[in-house]
Amino acid sequence: MIIRTKNLNKVYRTDEVQTTALNDLSIEINQGEFVSIMGPSGCGKSTLMNILGMIDSPSSGEYFFMENEVGGLSERKRSDVRKNNLGFVFQSFNLIDELTVFENVELPMMYTKVPSAERKKRTEALLEEMNMMHRRNHFPQQLSGGQQQRVAVARAIVNNPKLILADEPTGNLDSANGDDVMKILADLNSKGTTIVMVTHSQYCAEFGNRIIRLLDGQVVTENVVRQFL
């Protein structure tokens, strides 16, 4: 089991209002699964993703990543777990504007201290695979949305993460580009990478093998997707 949460709660407090984003949420995700998380705006999808991605911590409850409790780890420890095990794909791509395509993809390996020659080899191989090699020295603003998301995906997987967290990866893309990205993710999953994806699109959700629906911070249904691939 790669992910197991037990009674996760996340409460946001402002001066007057208290909002419960996650409410006693318990889920389990196995190694090699491709799970899609769906639900209306404000149901807690992004909060869940942030907690699963260890860039936010729960108000209460437990989060076991690869059977280790990580909910209560320090920022430094979480950062270590994150860089060695996780890859992120965002709706708004979140490439660093000051870095070239090549450098964006290379960046996670610098944080994991991969030697320079190895970095070059892996980056080039991935860019080749994503069909982005001819754009290696361009800056993000010089690319189309689809190209940017392919770079972002390349960056997410360059460290061979065990888990990819994708937050509406196709949200800013047209359907052709969206399809491309979904196929890449499905392909990765077929090679063994666990994927957790938030999406509004039923079409995209069905690329996965399980759909978790959230409402008001709770799981309402879980269904197994009919495998058609």
Q: How many CB atoms lie within 10 A of CB 7?
A: 13
Judged by CB under 8 A, the residue of 111, 175, 183, 190 near another protein is 111
Judged by CB under 8 A, the residue of 83, 120, 136, 210 near another protein is 83
Q: Is 46 in the site for another protein (CB under 8 A)?
A: yes
CA trace torsion 127, 133, 138, 140 (10° rounding): -30
Taking CB under 8 A as the binding criterion, the range among 72-80, 126-134, 180-188, 211-219 that sits at the site for another protein is 72-80
Q: How many CB atoms lie within 10 A of CB 58?
A: 22
CB of 26 to another protein, least distance (A): 22
Judged by CB under 8 A, the residue of 76, 117, 224, 229 near another protein is 76
CB of 95 to another protein, least distance (A): 8
Phi, psi (5° rounding) for residue 88? -115, 140
Q: Where are the alpha helices (DSSP H) in the chain?
A: 45-52, 75-85, 101-111, 116-129, 145-157, 175-190, 202-205
Taking CB under 8 A as the binding criterion, the range among 31-39, 99-107, 176-184, 212-220 that sits at the site for another protein is 99-107
Sequence-distant (6+) residues with CB within 8 A of 74 are none
Q: How many CB atoms lie within 10 A of CB 211?
A: 19
Judged by CB under 8 A, the residue of 30, 31, 40, 110 near another protein is 110
Q: Which residues bind another protein (CB under 8 A)?
A: 46, 50, 53, 55-56, 75-76, 79-80, 82-84, 88, 90, 92, 94-99, 103, 107-108, 110-112, 155
